[in-house]
Chain A
Amino acid sequence: MKPPPFTYVDPTGLSEATALLAAHGDEAKLLAGGQSLVPLLNMRLAQPAVLIDLNRVAELNYLREESRDGRPGIAIGAMTRHRSIERDSAVTDRLPLLREAIGWVGHPQIRNRGTVGGSIAHADPAAELPLVLVALDGVATVRSERGTRTVPAAEFFLYTFTPALEADEVLAEVWLPLPSPGTGQAFVEVARRHGDFALVSTAVSLTVTAQGRCADARIAVGGAAPVPMRARAAEAGLAGEDPDDTRLREAARVAAGEMEPTSDVHADARYRRDVAETLVYRALAAAGRRARSDA
């Protein structure tokens, strides 16, 4: 399983990278951590003429607190390794959903090389980071020679393995908002083995007011549709209500009804929908408990 021939270039800056994409976009692939792309190359399922290696673009490797439109948040450069996030407790303490999700990403060797940008741009609906982005309504920043644009999470994933990126564009950064006080978050996943891609996963966030009412409910489900999806009807059902056990179970049932799961060698659609309901309930229950202790 050896990769097919390609020409290789490793720019050291973002503008060099976008210039290369402008020239070769259609026949090029971007190499980030390589944990998803190199297997495809070795299996010859991808045969780009040009491989643009981003690993020397140091300006894309950062993790910092940054507010956007008055909301506090974390900005993550696309070439930030999963491992850096795992190790940075200053960040992960502020964003528990991200910390919980990162632990589910593959294995330590994968996290040493894999990047946030690579994972999100790969757009696997069963992957953890795209789900977190969608759950929190994060924002992707995309760069090309034509300029910079921002893409809200809800618009970033078009279909399985298909992000909203043109051939000449590179995902440069994702921004995730920090949770407001009174928020509990949870990430729950079912996989065949530890470290495998999820059969079904869910990332939830519940903000509960001092009066015990739900001010913000976010339910994102992965592996249950061609893209990571938000269970909007289920969320609406919780808004303004007391998120007691009955309501959480109902929200889970509604969320399961909103899925469009598919079947593959690992699980069929019926199972995914079925388990989604269980997982959403369990995640909401955990998030609810954490919200109450954070209040």
Chain B
Amino acid sequence: MDTARRIQVTVNGTTVESEVPVRLLLSDFLRGTLGLTGTHVGCEHGVCGCCTVLLDGEPVRSCLLFAVQTHGRAIRTVEGLAPDGALHPLQAAFREEHALQCGFCTPGFLMTLIPFMDENPAPSEEEIRAALSGNLCRCTGYQNIVRAVRRAGEHLTGNIPATAEERR
């Protein structure tokens, strides 16, 4: 029956150890304790998706998890997507298609989409929109995000249409 615990978590491939209060949210652990501020907090009640990270490869809302619950688990955040500087095809596609404006929701979208694209290399527009329905964006109206997913899918499957017109 603890109020604080020592935890060991692997974050973006590096194992960290920390003593944390049991009520410390995972979002605050990542941002405050570890200084990984790429994961953003938009609502703290599990609706907006800005705080999405991968827990053992699955997208979850880090504002609805306590840091102590991740002891012995592996977490991946947006900072882990392009560690050597070269953008992941999805990140490059976001830039190409203007799928971000203020950028605040973007890490949450990326972390939601990475596993989605692993499982669905050639998704339809409907499937993409359903996959995105748990992430809110206030700037883009989502349209360019959908386009970015399709473009990235083409890169990942090598299935690139001949002309820009075909893509539209």
A and B touch in the complex (CB under 8 A): yes
Kindly identify which residue among B3, B25, B130 contacts A3, using a CB–CB cutoff of 8 Å: B25
Cβ–Cβ < 8 Å partners of B1 in chain A? 7-9, 50
Nearest B residue to A52 via CB reads B1
Determine whether the beta carbon of B65 is less than 8 Å from that of A34. yes
Once the chains are docked, how many angstroms separate the CA of A112 from the CA of B115?
12
Nearest A residue to B64 via CB reads A38
Once the chains are docked, how many angstroms separate the CA of A42 from the CA of B60?
17
Residue A195 at the chain B interface, CB threshold 8 Å: yes
Determine whether the beta carbon of B3 is less than 8 Å from that of A8. yes
A1-36 interface code vs B (CB 8 A; 1 in, 0 out): 111111111100000000000000000000000110
Kindly identify which residue among B45, B52, B68 contacts A42, using a CB–CB cutoff of 8 Å: B45
Residue B63 at the chain A interface, CB threshold 8 Å: yes
Cβ–Cβ < 8 Å partners of B49 in chain A? 107, 109
Once the chains are docked, how many angstroms separate the CA of A6 from the CA of B3?
7
Determine whether the beta carbon of A43 is less than 8 Å from that of B3. no
| Chain A min CB distance to B20 (Å) | 11
Known: A7-B2, A38-B64. A112 touches B22 (CB 8 A): no
Cβ–Cβ < 8 Å partners of A110 in chain B? 46, 61, 134
Residue of B5, B112, B134 with most chain A CB atoms under a 10 A cut-off: B134
Residue of A50, A83, A106, A108 with most chain B CB atoms under a 10 A cut-off: A108
Determine whether the beta carbon of A109 is less than 8 Å from that of B45. no
A88-118 interface code vs B (CB 8 A; 1 in, 0 out): 0000000000000000001111101100000
| Chain B min CB distance to A97 (Å) | 20
Residue B104 at the chain A interface, CB threshold 8 Å: no
Kindly identify which residue among B5, B46, B59 contacts A39, using a CB–CB cutoff of 8 Å: B46
Cβ–Cβ < 8 Å partners of A108 in chain B? 59, 112, 116, 131, 134
Determine whether the beta carbon of B5 is less than 8 Å from that of A8. yes
Residues of A within 8 A of B (CB): 1-10, 34-35, 38-39, 42-43, 50-51, 53, 55, 83, 106-110, 112-113, 193-195
Q: Can you list 10 A-B contacts (CB < 8 A)?
A: A2-B25, A2-B28, A4-B23, A7-B1, A8-B66, A38-B66, A83-B58, A106-B134, A107-B134, A109-B49
Residues of B within 8 A of A (CB): 1-3, 5, 22-23, 25, 28, 44-46, 49, 52, 55, 58-61, 63-66, 68-69, 112, 116, 130-131, 133-134
Q: Which 4 A-B pairs have the closest CB atoms?
A: A107-B134, A8-B22, A39-B45, A38-B64
